[in-house]
Structure 1
Amino acid sequence: MRSTPSRRATATGALIAAAAMLAVGVQTGSATAADGQGIPAPRSQAAAQADPGALPADLSPAQRTALIRAADARKAAKAKELGLGAQEKLVVRDVVQDRDGTTHTRYERTYAGLPVLGGDLLVTENTSGRTESVAKASRAELKNVDTTADVAPVTAERQALTAARAEGSKATEPERAPRKVVWLAEGKPVLAYETVVGGLQHDGTPNELHVVTDATTGEKLYEWQAVHNGTGNTMYSGQVTLGTAQSGSSYTLTDTARGSHKTYNLNRGTSGTGTLFSGADDTWGDGTPSNLETAGADAHYGAALTWDYFKNVHGRSGIRGDGVGAYSRVHYGNNYVNAFWQDSCFCMTYGDGANNAKPLTSIDVAAHEMTHGLTSVTARLVYSGESGGLNEATSDIFAAAVEFYGNNAKDPGDYLVGEKIDIRGNGTPLRYMDKPSKDGSSKDYWYSGIGSVDVHYSSGPANHWFYLLSEGSGAKTVNGVSYDSPTSDGLPVTGIGRDKAALIWFKALTTKFTSTTNYAGARAGTVAVATELYGAGSPEVLAVENAWAGVNVGARPGDGGPGEPGGKVFENNTDVSIPDAGAAVTSSVSVTGVTGNAPSTLKVGVDIVHTWRGDLVVDLIAPDGSAYRLKSASGSDSADNVQETYTVNASSEVANGTWKLRVQDTARYDTGYINSFKLTFP
């Protein structure tokens, strides 16, 4: 036994604040446009065969608050259980729950009182409070950070202002003075400054540029824009019902049924909240862009549809789950062809388009922008690299889901993004989900360099995956729109329906993804969720795997993956926390499509992160419960981690079924987690 405990730290980054690409609003009263429809009544999700217990719980704001308070009361004990160092503390950010009581808690971290950028954790616990898994964005240990800066804050501020001006920003000014942080998002922890620059971007969009500067060397480590540009437009959704409020003889665009969401008129301004739309009657706009109320009605309606979709389908009461509505601002700037979401104001903002004639307020634009808000309070997918593409895809996926949910005759559901906008002036959508490359820039399939592509285009494979999982490959017509979706390997994919596909993505976003999740992580997370909802080896799980293979992320079930020709690989990348000197835990894979028995040369890939591997006993458990010892405990083995591929003679076992990696920590003080478990059948 060791007299001084050796601790490992888990981590994940939470960086961005906001995003944009489309936007709109909602409410109920009696708005105009053409002959459309009102807000749909609550409907049940068509996730027919899903395990009811694995579905998201419909938490009231009060129930969510109670869960957060409970997690906050236990955070010190949880930090100790996870093996965090004495300088580290957990900060509860959000809690969601499944109907069976499984709880998923998101934490931020501090180190010596400093915020840790890249330090978020997602901990899943069963109903008895036992930790089942821990997801993290960074594998680096958080220790030995000198918190004394060698570089003055003014140096970081100048660097940030220079970066903003280099991108064409106007009226640049420090929005927030440099603050000391620990930067963990890219490996070894580094003391740094985070500076936020305000003003305007080159196209008139508000600027919230975050720049991270090494506090020892002065080197710029990272930058990201917290207000991400996008485009969206909707002329009309027809005549709709809006949520409004009456005070005396006056009405306002205040949706009292949806968190008091409000819609404001900026009247071509670019700052402030603007003026709340009000009037002597409860009729808003006349269906033309010259009437300023029309864009307000469209935005109000789009926000209502999005609220209702997430509430009625996924049980989430508002973007944050706290029952509070965001707000909308329309008529931003002059001839501003854009829309955006900002965390700093918790709001969506819409321009009026070219010649102020096409307000960017369509249903899919509104849903896209509000979903950026959802992502920012759940996974916080960093708006750069592969995680940035997944961030954009998440907004496109739920834009499509909300549009179908709305069932509006003037804007029926489709797998096109911004089809009402005609931003290019040639009558084409902004993006296509069935074959993303049709827009001329987006990517149909994953490849190793996709992280260097603009996030609006690297979103293509995830958008394509969602379409394939929903509808399947090949030619078909949906709601009058013709699609013809290919696959990377030329093999067909059979869809499972849009509702199931959206449910799987939502649950993965809220219970599996972290801020640095990449495409491989998205595949692992969605496969894990499909397994929880529909069971190992179910048609839904196979469809998820086939759809990912169809966009070149992973292999077809039973096929060899890259670097393993002819092999059949089954892998689980979901982290499983190993309790210190506690009960054994397992990581499982479901093997399907393999004929007969397992081979005498079954390859078992084990990746365990642990600070004293001699504590560990590791076994492979066959579907019939037979145990094969891979590693025994050894008090003299003080090295870190178990990263080995073992060969097991499993020829007496039937291949198909659930195989488990069982790990038990037999001694006190050191902790760790199962990082991944893989079986390769030759």
Structure 2
Amino acid sequence: MNRKNTLAAGVAAALALGSVTMLATQSTAAPRPTAAAGTSVAPPGAGFKAMTADTRDEAIRTAGRNAAATARELGLGPDERLVAKDVLIDADGARHVRYDRTYRGLPVIGGDLVVHLAEDGTITGSDLAHQGAIRIAGTTPKLTAADASAKAVKHARHVKKAKAGSKDSTLVVYAVGKIPVLAYRSTVTGEGETGPASRQAVIVDATSGAALDQYELHQTVTGTGNGVTVGQVSIETTQTSSGYTLTDAAHGGTIIYDSYNSPQSNPRQNARAFSKTTNSWGNGTSSSRESAAVDASYGLAKTWDYYKNSFNRSGIRNNGSGAPAYVHVDTGLLNAFYDDNCFCMFFGDGSSQNSNTPVTTLDVAAHEMSHGVTAATANLTYSGESGGLNEATSDIFGTMVEFYANNTGDQGDYYIGEKLNMSGGYMRRMDNPAADGNSLSCWTSSAGSVDVHYSSGIGNHFFYLAAEGTGAKTIGGRSHNGTTCNNDTFSGIGKDKAAAVWYRALSTYMTSTTNYAGARTATLQAAADLYGTNSQERYLVSKAWAAVSVGTALPDPGTGTPTPTPTDPTPSPTTPPSGTR
């Protein structure tokens, strides 16, 4: 599947003071005593308080009022501005404010940052995608927008028959390297993995026209309903004067549309919301267009509930708004994707390669919605190692939603897309990424040049080992084997704890340019926040990273073995990972 990149009343008073005190600026916040050293009880919601949409909006506005003072404290340049994007508040009153950055009014790609503050407004740390102030020679390009579009078309490698016009190129500052440069960000369309209307971002130097980066822009894989893959389930609908619609008011007003095979370039072209006079939907097979809609409605609702009940997150953007979803997109489309530009999700009907099974399975729906969560938080760039982390994040939470739903027809496991009737039986395996013949199980120095769907295996493998540890198990009726890249053996901390660590790292410490080494730092900090600096949980997180060749394990604090969430595993042999490729 193909993907895209694109506080509470209690803290409002402190934020409204309009002043920011600088204590220390560093890469990631200083450890805070949110959990006593050696304990294994984490604050609920990955440490975050629940917020209403109104209090969150007010907190963002207040952070915006403090943006200029914050920029000065961080040592940013006079031509830079911070734009508040999100605010999270911890149980102890600490805050994490996420900003985007502009330079003389131009968007800065790779300029995002997170500022960490104590309850009294003192800055305790920061995480910047680009360290320090932005400095470029000028903002007058040598190339015109039309020139940049022409260059982008020539550079595009993810689409065929590429095209782009002058309106498709926007002047930006590209700061994903050590030296920021003036550049154009161009949107190129053509035939690609997501179909005949695939879109790709190409970044070109505004002076030389050289390609700086490129990546795909589509983030891909109580009525009663009978879905193709989820079976008979309860779904939320809305009653109208003439019957019912697949509008889920309990989950932000999420609406499921029948795209009626509209092309990807315009999925709304023939689209209509599902409606009928009775409140029973689908027949469990693809012969009813409603069946795939049931799958999507159920999967998106379960994903919403998982984020809400696990992390106090209310929808993709944490503002209570549901994203529209379109099923039956295009013809023969073996794909699904999230697009942040329209804040919507698309699901194809599959192809002959998977017996025309709709791409609406539970873990796929959760995977796509989780791309939206990534876009709303760290916004991991969809190329290089950050792109692999983007994909891994969606696999991780797609898997966690599958466990959370506890659907008897689709039991929780660490296989991705196992209900899609793929020839190999699945799309990816988290316990053994290399089993598909392409994915990486272990980090190598070339990981950043590997397709993001394959480099995601490093993050997937880490998560499985952190959650389940090493050794053979049967989970959800499927064989799993936690084999490491360094021949180590250890126990896991349980999937719920591992997910809490990953979510806190994603939402609080990662930025758009985070790589695997940075993800290790972020998750170790998150584990310290949740379980304590000297906790066994933090130690085992470091062991899991070392087991996929990212860094080394921390010294054993000797505080005992945490009790993981039971998964009722039974021993079962399987083939261990075969290495990096």
* Structure 2 counterpart of 1:136: 128
Q: Alpha-carbon deviations, 1:526-581, whole Å to 9, x = none?
A: 111111111121111111111111111111223xxxxxxxxxxxxxxxxxxxxxxx
| Residue 174 (structure 1) shift | 3.5
Name the count of aligned residue pairs. 514
Q: Structure 1's 93 and 201: CA in aligned 2 closer, same or farther, altered over 3 A?
A: same
| Residue 177 (structure 1) shift | 3.3
Q: Structure 1's 417 and 97: CA in aligned 2 closer, same or farther, altered over 3 A?
A: same
For residue 418 of structure 2, give the secondary structure of its aligned residue in structure 1: coil
What is the rounded CA distance, in whole Å, between the counterparts of 2:306 and 2:273 in structure 1? 25
Which of the numbers 137, 140, 149 marks the counterpart of 1:145? 137
| Residue 374 (structure 1) shift | 0.6
What is the rounded CA distance, in whole Å, between the counterparts of 1:140 and 1:349 in structure 2? 39
* Structure 2 counterpart of 1:5: none
* Structure 1 counterpart of 2:417: 418
What is the rounded CA distance, in whole Å, between the counterparts of 1:473 and 1:499 in structure 2? 17
Structure showing greater Rg: 1
* Structure 2 counterpart of 1:221: 212
1:235 is aligned to 2:228: yes
Identical amino acids, percent of aligned pairs:
45
Q: Structure 1's 452 and 144: CA in aligned 2 closer, same or farther, altered over 3 A?
A: closer
1:159 is aligned to 2:151: yes
Letter in 2 for 1:420: K
* Structure 2 counterpart of 1:110: 102
What is the rounded CA distance, in whole Å, between the counterparts of 1:110 and 1:168 in structure 2? 30
Task: State the TM-score, normalized to the length of structure 2.
Answer: 0.85
Letter in 2 for 1:437: A
| Residue 229 (structure 1) shift | 4.0
What is the rounded CA distance, in whole Å, between the counterparts of 2:496 and 2:44 in structure 1? 15
* Structure 2 counterpart of 1:169: 160
Letter in 2 for 1:17: N
* Structure 2 counterpart of 1:531: 528
1:81 is aligned to 2:62: no
How large is the Cα RMSD of the aligned pairs?
2.1
- Structure 1, 112-121 or 361-370: larger mean CA deviation: 112-121
What is the rounded CA distance, in whole Å, between the counterparts of 2:537 and 2:56 in structure 1? 30
| Residue 207 (structure 1) shift | 2.6
What is the rounded CA distance, in whole Å, between the counterparts of 2:97 and 2:140 in structure 1? 32
Are the counterparts in 1 of residues 431 and 464 from structure 2 also a CA contact under 8 Å? yes
* Structure 2 counterpart of 1:375: 374
Which of the numbers 254, 258, 283 marks the counterpart of 2:251? 258
What is the rounded CA distance, in whole Å, between the counterparts of 1:383 and 1:226 in structure 2? 8
What is the rounded CA distance, in whole Å, between the counterparts of 1:527 and 1:453 in structure 2? 25
What is the rounded CA distance, in whole Å, between the counterparts of 1:354 and 1:213 in structure 2? 35
| Residue 206 (structure 1) shift | 3.4
For residue 332 of structure 2, give the secondary structure of its aligned residue in structure 1: coil
Are the counterparts in 1 of residues 219 and 371 from structure 2 also a CA contact under 8 Å? no
What is the rounded CA distance, in whole Å, between the counterparts of 2:359 and 2:193 in structure 1? 19
What is the rounded CA distance, in whole Å, between the counterparts of 1:243 and 1:176 in structure 2? 41
Letter in 2 for 1:191: L
Are the counterparts in 2 of residues 418 and 430 from structure 1 also a CA contact under 8 Å? yes
| Residue 127 (structure 1) shift | 0.3
Are the counterparts in 1 of residues 440 and 456 from structure 2 also a CA contact under 8 Å? yes
Which of the numbers 86, 91, 99 marks the counterpart of 2:83? 91
Q: Alpha-carbon deviations, 1:459-518, whole Å to 9, x = none?
A: 112111111111110112223222121112212121111100000000000001111111
Q: Alpha-carbon deviations, 1:620-677, whole Å to 9, x = none?
A: xxxxxxxxxxxxxxxxxxxxxxxxxxxxxxxxxxxxxxxxxxxxxxxxxxxxxxxxxx
What is the rounded CA distance, in whole Å, between the counterparts of 2:215 and 2:193 in structure 1? 15
Matches within 5 A, 1:564-575: none
What is the rounded CA distance, in whole Å, between the counterparts of 1:57 and 1:85 in structure 2? 33
* Structure 1 counterpart of 2:568: none
For residue 459 of structure 1, give the secondary structure of its aligned residue in structure 2: helix
Letter in 1 for 2:122: R
For residue 400 of structure 2, give the secondary structure of its aligned residue in structure 1: helix
Letter in 2 for 1:240: V
Letter in 1 for 2:59: L
Letter in 2 for 1:524: T
Matches within 5 A, 1:414-453: 414-423=413-422, 425-426=423-424, 428-453=425-450
Letter in 2 for 1:295: A
* Structure 2 counterpart of 1:358: 357
1:207 is aligned to 2:195: no
Are the counterparts in 2 of residues 137 and 516 from structure 1 also a CA contact under 8 Å? yes
* Structure 2 counterpart of 1:9: none
Matches within 5 A, 1:247-646: 247-270=240-263, 271-273=266-268, 274-355=271-352, 357-423=356-422, 425-426=423-424, 428-558=425-555, 592=557
More helix by proportion, 1 or 2?
2
| Residue 76 (structure 1) shift | 1.1
| Residue 176 (structure 1) shift | 4.1
For residue 177 of structure 2, give the secondary structure of its aligned residue in structure 1: coil
What is the rounded CA distance, in whole Å, between the counterparts of 1:125 and 1:203 in structure 2? 41
Are the counterparts in 2 of residues 173 and 199 from structure 1 also a CA contact under 8 Å? no
1:55 is aligned to 2:47: yes
Q: Structure 1's 97 and 75: CA in aligned 2 closer, same or farther, altered over 3 A?
A: same
For residue 250 of structure 2, give the secondary structure of its aligned residue in structure 1: coil
For residue 149 of structure 1, give the secondary structure of its aligned residue in structure 2: coil
Letter in 1 for 2:206: A
Letter in 2 for 1:281: T
What is the rounded CA distance, in whole Å, between the counterparts of 1:291 and 1:53 in structure 2? 39
Which of the numbers 56, 78, 92 marks the counterpart of 1:100? 92
Are the counterparts in 1 of residues 220 and 368 from structure 2 also a CA contact under 8 Å? no
| Residue 16 (structure 1) shift | 5.4
Q: Structure 1's 175 and 82: CA in aligned 2 closer, same or farther, altered over 3 A?
A: same
| Residue 385 (structure 1) shift | 1.1
For residue 116 of structure 2, give the secondary structure of its aligned residue in structure 1: strand
* Structure 1 counterpart of 2:20: none
Are the counterparts in 2 of residues 140 and 184 from structure 1 also a CA contact under 8 Å? no
Q: Structure 1's 216 and 86: CA in aligned 2 closer, same or farther, altered over 3 A?
A: same
Q: Structure 1's 200 and 278: CA in aligned 2 closer, same or farther, altered over 3 A?
A: farther
Which of the numbers 51, 61, 68 marks the counterpart of 1:69? 61
1:193 is aligned to 2:184: yes
What is the rounded CA distance, in whole Å, between the counterparts of 2:333 and 2:4 in structure 1? 24
For residue 284 of structure 2, give the secondary structure of its aligned residue in structure 1: coil
* Structure 2 counterpart of 1:17: 5
| Residue 124 (structure 1) shift | 0.6
Q: Alpha-carbon deviations, 1:226-246, whole Å to 9, x = none?
A: 11444xxx8321111111111
Are the counterparts in 2 of residues 101 and 126 from structure 1 also a CA contact under 8 Å? yes
What is the rounded CA distance, in whole Å, between the counterparts of 1:315 and 1:155 in structure 2? 47
Are the counterparts in 2 of residues 341 and 373 from structure 1 also a CA contact under 8 Å? yes
Letter in 1 for 2:388: G
Are the counterparts in 2 of residues 54 and 532 from structure 1 also a CA contact under 8 Å? no
| Residue 55 (structure 1) shift | 0.8
- Structure 1, 442-451 or 362-371: larger mean CA deviation: 442-451
What is the rounded CA distance, in whole Å, between the counterparts of 1:437 and 1:347 in structure 2? 32
What is the rounded CA distance, in whole Å, between the counterparts of 2:136 and 2:492 in structure 1? 50
Are the counterparts in 2 of residues 54 and 100 from structure 1 also a CA contact under 8 Å? no
Q: Structure 1's 447 and 168: CA in aligned 2 closer, same or farther, altered over 3 A?
A: closer
Task: State the TM-score, normalized to the length of structure 1.
Answer: 0.73
Are the counterparts in 1 of residues 536 and 557 from structure 2 also a CA contact under 8 Å? no
| Residue 195 (structure 1) shift | 1.7
Structure 1's unaligned 5+ residue stretches are 1-14, 19-46, 559-590, 595-682
